[in-house]
Amino acid sequence: MVILNNFIQFPTVDNMAEDGLVALGGNLLPATLLKAYQQGIFPWYNEGEPILWWCPNPRCVLFPQQLKVSKSMQVIIKKNHFRFTVNKAFDTVISNCKIVNLQKHNGTWISDDITKAYNHLHLLGHAHSAEAWLGNELVGGLYGIQIGKVFFGESMFSKVSNASKFAFIQYVQLLQSQGIQIIDCQMPTNHLKSFGATMIQRKDFIDLLNKYCTDNNPGF
């Protein structure tokens, strides 16, 4: 594991630990975060701890063309039960993700510093949200970072049944239409696997990033 100082230099894939923890310290400035994501690394730590940077092996990803939509969700989508938007309520989406994680796990990695950092990335055009509305109420959504042809998913929330699923499906289909090649899901869950997410080796994931995560280079 690398200890970071003001000069941020993340380890290469050949020097990453098997447990996924690759670095400690550093900062959450936009350039640091974008540099990390381009190398398959993301921050994940509890409030009050030093910043911990991770690159799991294997890695959970979804290739948009392999998205699975259940028959029940196909019916919900056709009924126009929810309304779908993008980037209409980023700050509210990340706040709700934080609240839901606190309720489910009695804690969350979405600290005030993380919230501030990703809101900053959103204002710079790098972080995006997808929303599900029931009438005028925001009832589900997700957020993440897009660099080149890769979307790095961070978290999602749902206040009513199927709302986050709806937002996820709609957004994946939109991303596919825009040429996105990989959706990084970071860690596997049964929920993500039901959509077609799969596990690939870390080295293969970073090889894909080197191929597709080249546009919109933040220029470090």
Can you list the domains of the chain with their CATH numbers?
Answer: 2-56 (3.30.70.3550), 60-212 (3.40.630.70)
Is omega for the bond preceding 58 within 30 degrees of 0, making it cis?
yes
pLDDT value at residue 218: 42
With 80 as the cut, is the pLDDT of residue 216 above it? no
What does the buried/exposed string (b/e) look like for 131-159 if buried means 16 or more CB atoms within 10 Å of the residue's CB? bbbeeeebbbbbbbbbbbbbbbbbbbbbb
Rounded to an integer, the average pLDDT of 72-94 is: 96
Of the candidates 119, 53, 134, the one whose C-alpha atom is nearest the C-alpha of residue 87 is 119
pLDDT value at residue 6: 60
d(CA 102, CA 3): 29
pLDDT value at residue 107: 62
pLDDT value at residue 106: 62
With 60 as the cut, is the pLDDT of residue 91 above it? yes
With 90 as the cut, is the pLDDT of residue 165 above it? yes
pTM of the model: 0.93
With 90 as the cut, is the pLDDT of residue 48 above it? no
Per the DSSP assignment, residues forming a β-bridge with 2 are: 23
d(CA 204, CA 188): 16
